[in-house]
Amino acid sequence: MLFNSIDFAIFLPIVFILYWFVTNKNLRLQNLFIVAASYVFYGWWDWRFLSLILFSTAVDYFVGCGLGKEENQRKRKLLLLTSILVNLGFLGFFKYYNFFLDNFIAAFSFFGAEIQANSLNIILPVGISFYTFQTMSYSIDVYKRKLEPTKDFIAFSAFVSFFPQLVAGPIERATHLLPQFYKERTFDYLKAVDGMRQILWGFFKKLVIADNCAKYANLIFNNSADYSGSTLVLGAIFFTFQIYCDFSGYSDIAIGTSRLFGFNLMRNFNYPYFSRDIAEFWRRWHISLSTWFRDYLYIPLGGSQGSTWMKVRNTFIIFIVSGFWHGANWTFIVWGALNALYFLPLLLTNKNRNHLDTVAQGKMLPSIKELSMMVLTFTLTVFAWIFFRANNIEHAIAYISEILSPSLFTLPKFAEIEKALVILLVVAIFVVIEWIGREQQYAIANIGINWKPSFRYALYYAIIITIMCLGGKEQQFIYFQF
């Protein structure tokens, strides 16, 4: 079920009413209702894959119970390995089987050996990359004794399948979200209002910015051979804002929706395009995934400790794995490796943690130095996104080659460019609003909070009218494919 669909517009108020007015007297019943609602939400897309969520939930629940009772270290490792193999096995089969098969065949063909093997017509279950990581991290935390295993299967099932963040995150840790299912929840009006405000901003990002940018990004990328370098730059910029507003918009809707039900989800984006270097960008972009890889892969490998070789190795591993997590295509791997190259100079000069504060904190405008650093970081990010969006490596190279040609210095030209310029103006206004609200959890969290109610609601209605007037054609969230 898509957030930006009529189905969800009907689903959400029904679940909200039943949750607070029918099941609110019994915590266990309330959690069971969350599980049921979440399974309906997910099954609306394809009910057949509900068995995957249920099986993954059951495996990690019983692995957790076993880890809580077992003291023998060898058996504990075996239990953890079971969780990892099941979760990564599902993920590997559905997401990467054909990729590895095709590259295996290509490798043998390169050496003159022909292998006959048929790829499978596999449907990628929506959200599998998210909920498998979420359940797997629970088993790892229990194994490391950072978390007591739960004995409440319903609460654990609700943690795994919680519908606001089930299919595209944030990837929650059991240490943060699971305990919230143990506590009685009472309706908090101010929390709910704040949630509605964040949902509104999320829909603005998705429907007005992302979906409109997608139209022109797709037009330019899909016909890149027909356009000049300047037009291709414009296409890359459109995609840059498409992917940010699409994914962060989903996260805003998910976090805001969870507040309606009395839950707090972790922040997933923190104004990444205002970053002053790539290290800061990755602290602010898809925070739940980057911290997951940091805690469960990068640090166990040794992190930034040890020799220079180990630092370089670990950096490339985490970025390449992060790229591969996004999809079975060499473009994602190159995108990850490119970001590793961006990151390495900062790591090796111990400047990777120089910018932990908010840029121009407490000020209206950044300094010239801060502005130049943001522009450079943004430019590097846009360049890397070309690989992420391209159909294949050859497409990306051809795209970049045309950008670096003399046609870069011509005026952009493509169908509906006048409408595209209007969207660019809207994007510019959006960036200004994000800049004003960059010290808040989301851009409009405090904008107008002290205004008279009539003015404040005029702002919200203006956003709603803008969504209705400029909202693009309903499109699936971009991260559903990951």
Question: What's the Cα-to-Cα distance from 105 to each of 119, 121, 312, rounded to whole Å?
Answer: 11, 17, 31
Please list, in sequence order, all residues whose beta carbon lies within 8 angstroms of the beta carbon of residue 21, skipping any fewer than 6 positions away.
none
Place of tokens 């805690």: 295
Show the tokens assigned to 254. 């998910």
| CA neighbor of 371 nearest in space, from 275, 247, 231 | 275
Question: What is residue 260's DSSP assignment?
Answer: H
DSSP element (H, E) containing 139: helix 128-143
Catalytic site residue from 176, 286, 326, 395: 326
Is 374 within 8 Å of 276 (Cβ atoms)? Answer: yes
| CA neighbor of 476 nearest in space, from 165, 218, 247 | 247
Catalytic: 326? yes
CA gap 27, 23 in Å, rounded: 8
Per residue, what are the HEC states of 389-408? HCCCHHHHHHHHHHHCCHHH
Is 229 within 8 Å of 404 (Cβ atoms)? Answer: yes
| CA neighbor of 480 nearest in space, from 201, 246, 159, 289 | 246
CA gap 415, 392 in Å, rounded: 25
> Count of CB atoms within 10 A of residue 258's CB?
22
Residues recorded for the chain: 482
Question: What's the Cα-to-Cα distance from 408 to each of 151, 315, 477, rounded to whole Å?
Answer: 62, 33, 31
Helix, strand, coil abundance in the chain, percent, nearest 5: 70, 0, 30
Place of tokens 């050496």: 111
Place of tokens 């699936």: 476
Place of tokens 């009218």: 465
CA gap 221, 403 in Å, rounded: 12
Torsion of CA 155, 159, 163, 166, to 10 degrees: -150
Show the tokens assigned to 36. 């049921």
Is 50 within 8 Å of 39 (Cβ atoms)? Answer: yes
CA gap 203, 201 in Å, rounded: 5
The residues annotated as belonging to the active site are 326
